[in-house]
Amino acid sequence: MPLDRQHLSVASLGTSQTLAWASTYYLPAMLAAPMARDLGVATLTVFAAFSAALVVSAMVGPLAGRTIDRHGGRTVLVVTNGVFAAGLTALALAQGPVGLFAAWVLLGVGMGSGLYEAAFATLVRLYGSQSRTAITGITLFAGFASTVGWPLSAWLEGEVGWRGACLVWAALHLVLGAPLNASLPKAVAVVVPPGAPGASAPAEPVRVGRTAVLLALVFAITWFISTAMAAHLPRLLQAAGAGLAAAVFASALVGPAQVVARMLELGLLRRFHPLRSAQLAVLAHPLGAAVLMALGGPVAVVFTLLHGAGNGIMTIANGTLPLVLFGPHGYGLRQSMLMVPARIAQASAPFVFGVLIDRWGQGALWVSSGLGLVAFAALCWLAARVQHTDRAA
């Protein structure tokens, strides 16, 4: 496929992913409080509904991945835009807890078939083993989802209320997201070179099984941390001593930090195995947390930049590690299965980390930092296994 067509596809998919993330995953951080007040429920109830959506997305993901493996992702993503629009409209019309949960369950169906996992599988279906650059490309665009989504949702809530904000996001899926996804090329057959990873059934099922378990553990930990920060970052920074304005400003830097880190991955870090990039990425959050706990609110920006950079690179690793370790054959189903524990961890993150902040304030960072170090150890173990396998081969 011509390079310029690939660039156009990456731009279209990256823009549609920015919309998808901004209007779902990053929505509760700005609209949960006004939703709760209007519906007469606790704010934690809104986050519980969001968590239910993440559980639903975990259940839907493997089916979406298998479908993309067989038929390509263009149709799946276009249909998902309609699901997102329907879910956001239902959310805008909700009158109580039942309507709230029903809307988020519908949004969960869209999240399971229309966020990064589906986008990555779509790219691998189009470009096979040469998808690492394309995966990085769409994450460069979508890295601005929080930077765009949080201020826009807050502004819309102030202008037209939270219900109006949901309706605007729904309309954007129909007039912008669906046409962008419809412009993607039709999928072609994935050709796996003989001897490449995934070209045939693995010779050592136990080894591959352990590799999958380690990857699933790393993905679950990193997505738990990412979701916890997405839901509670401004509040966490205030607990660490930052003022409201400083906390909001620092939080808005997560998106740019993700994009800068992904540009680094596209350039310098591309020379290294994705496992090395992932190891650096998972250490960024514990390092930033140590600085924040030691020095407090004045270094909130340092923490958010480190966390955002690590999160940005790990998002790419979620797509590239399964591709490099297992190959493109059956990528959609395999990658979505690896993400099932991550989605469940995500589902618990807003509530669990909210409770931790209530009890310990900035001390909640001890938990997220410890988990980050566990993920680093798992990646080191996985790297050692890969090196051993390469030497044996």
The answer to whether 64 and 336 have CB atoms below 8 angstroms apart is yes
pTM (2 decimals)?
A: 0.79
Q: How far apart are alpha carbons 339 and 88 in whole angstroms? A: 24
Mean per-residue pLDDT, 233-246: 88
What does 278-312 look like in DSSP terms, one character per residue?
HHHHHHHHHHHHHHHHHH-GGGHHHHHHHHHHHHH
pLDDT tens-digit profile of 70-90? 888 889 999 999 999 999 999
- Looking at residue 77, its pLDDT comes to 94
Residue 282 predicted with pLDDT over 70: yes
Most confident range (mean pLDDT) of 5-9, 74-78, 207-211, 255-259 is: 74-78
Higher pLDDT, 57 or 258: 57
pLDDT exceeds 80 at position 204: no
Determine the pLDDT at residue 199: 41
| Helix or strand run (H / E) with residue 134 | helix 132-142
pLDDT over threshold 80, residue 187: no
Q: How far is CA 378 from the centre of its chain?
A: 20
* Per-chain mean pLDDT for the chain: 85
Residue of 170 and 227 predicted with greater confidence: 170
Domain residue spans of the chain: 1-187, 195-393
Looking at residue 392, what is its pLDDT?
54
Give dist(CA 21, CA 142) in Å, integer: 8
Stretch among 51-60, 62-71, 250-259 having the lowest mean pLDDT = 250-259
Residue 165 tokens read as 């904000």
At residue 243, the pLDDT reads 87
pLDDT digits (tens, 9 = 90+) for 339-354: 889 888 988 888 889 8
Question: What is the homologous superfamily of the domain 195-393 according to CATH?
Answer: MFS general substrate transporter like domains (1.20.1250.20)
Task: Tell me the pLDDT tens digit for each residue of 286-333.
Answer: 999 999 999 988 999 999 999 999 998 898 888 888 888 888 888 888
Q: What value does the mean pLDDT take over residues 57-69? A: 89
What does the pLDDT average to over 133-147?
Answer: 81
In terms of pLDDT, which residue wins out, 273 or 221?
Answer: 221
Q: Among 133-147, 171-185, 208-222, which range has the highest average pLDDT?
A: 171-185
Q: Is the pLDDT of residue 95 over 70?
A: yes
Is the pLDDT reported for residue 132 higher than 50? yes
Among the CATH numbers 1.10.1740.10, 1.10.540.10, 1.10.287.70, 1.20.1250.20, which is that of 1-187? Answer: 1.20.1250.20
pLDDT the model gives residue 388: 60
Amino acid present at 126:
L
Contact 324, 211 (CB under 8 A): no
| Range with the poorest average pLDDT among 93-107, 150-164, 181-195, 256-270 | 181-195
Residue for token digits 């807003």?
A: 350
Alpha-carbon distance 53 to 232, whole Å?
18
Q: What's the confidence (pLDDT) of residue 390?
A: 57
pLDDT band at 391 (very low <50, low <70, confident <90, very high): low
- Per-residue pLDDT band for 1 (boundaries 50, 70, 90) equals very low
Q: Tokens representing 30? A: 């700005």
On whether the CB atoms of residues 278 and 382 are closer than 8 A, the answer is no
Q: Is the pLDDT of residue 49 over 70?
A: yes
Residue 2 has pLDDT above 70, yes or no: no
Percent above pLDDT 70 for the chain: 91
pLDDT at 213 over 60: yes
Mean pLDDT of 138-143: 82
Contact criterion met (CB below 8 Å) for 161 and 92: no
pLDDT in tens, 352-372: 898 899 889 889 999 999 999
